[in-house]
């Protein structure tokens, strides 16, 4: 089965539409979601309905929790906090109920595969830097069943492999085709659909072939000017529009 792996959509309708079109071109039949449907961008209702009508497996993100009151916005930066409050005020009641119903990670959609938002042990922690990568692989070793762990939250694509023994993790180019080898562990972040932060403004998502055991990160251009216009029209902080144009 071809599975599209989406994370950090954050209410960006134009980016999500472009990603769903690209996923259809890849013949994706399955959808897995890594958290953060809402926050930052102006179309929570559309994004929640579209993703949840498709995803067989999903986990919640920190913005999903904040919007539904499960997490305090005290530690959010002022822009993120304002976007959380805006979403609470403007999203439909059924949208907020769906977001509230998102399960905590990790989830296991198929044997060997794990989905989480931040890390498998803490949904709010950022998996950044070599120490965190080593710790994540240690978690997978101890778990014994996880071979590929998909995560989100950083809004930056990442693909790391750990071969057996004491070898150090290797970073792989996720935009090429990665073949999952037996005996290796993989840590994969497909990047963010709705607010990429790796300097590339194109929407980012992953395509997994569960039969061939291959993976690829795809980047898709979308109508970013339209999203920026809607952010300003909605009265959301202007910085949220500017950062989309630079992928920052
Ligand atoms: Zn996020």
- Domains in the chain, start-ordered, CATH in brackets? 2-246 (3.60.21.10)
pLDDT in tens, 217-226: 999 999 999 9
Count of other CB atoms within 10 angstroms of residue 21: 11
Tokens standing for residue 196: 């990429």
138 CA distance to ligand 1 middle (Å): 24
Answer yes or no: is pLDDT of 14 > 80: yes
Calculate mean pLDDT across residues 197-204.
Answer: 97
33 CA distance to ligand 1 middle (Å): 12
pLDDT in tens, 15-48: 999 999 999 999 999 999 999 999 999 999 999 9
The strands making up 30-33's β-sheet, listed across from edge to edge, are 57-58, 30-33, 2-6, 203-209, 214-220, 178-179
In the beta sheet, which residues pair with residue 219? Answer: 204
183 CA distance to ligand 1 middle (Å): 31
19 CA distance to ligand 1 middle (Å): 17
Tokens standing for residue 159: 């693909």
Residue 85 to residues 43, 74, 80, 231, Cα–Cα distance (Å): 14, 12, 9, 14
The model's pTM: 0.96
- What mean pLDDT, rounded, does the chain reach? 95
Calculate mean pLDDT across residues 112-129.
Answer: 96
């Amino acid at each position: 089965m071809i599975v599209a792996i989406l994370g950090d959509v954050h209410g960006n309708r134009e980016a999500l539409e472009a990603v769903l079109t690209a996923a259809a071109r890849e013949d994706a039949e399955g959808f897995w979601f890594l958290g953060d449907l809402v926050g930052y961008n102006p179309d929570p209702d559309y994004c929640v309905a579209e993703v949840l009508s498709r995803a067989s497996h999903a986990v919640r993100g920190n913005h999903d929790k904040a919007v539904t009151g499960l997490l305090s916005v005290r530690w959010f930066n002022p822009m993120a906090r304002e976007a959380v409050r805006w979403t609470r005020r403007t999203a439909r009641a059924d949208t907020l109920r769906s977001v509230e119903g998102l399960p905590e990670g990790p989830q296991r959609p198929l044997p060997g595969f794990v989905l989480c938002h931040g890390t498998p042990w803490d949904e709010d922690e950022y998996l950044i830097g070599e120490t965190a990568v080593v710790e994540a692989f240690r978690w997978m070793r101890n778990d014994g069943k996880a071979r590929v762990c998909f995560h989100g939250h950083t809004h930056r694509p990442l693909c790391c492999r750990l071969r057996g023994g004491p070898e150090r993790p290797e970073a792989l180019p996720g935009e090429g085709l990665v073949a999952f080898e037996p005996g290796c562990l993989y840590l994969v972040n497909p990047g963010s659909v709705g607010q990429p932060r790796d300097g590339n403004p194109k929407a980012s998502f992953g395509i997994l072939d569960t039969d061939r055991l291959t993976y690829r990160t795809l980047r898709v251009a979308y109508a970013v000017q339209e999203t920026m216009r809607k952010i300003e029209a909605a009265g959301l902080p202007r910085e949220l529009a500017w950062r989309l144009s630079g992928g920052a």
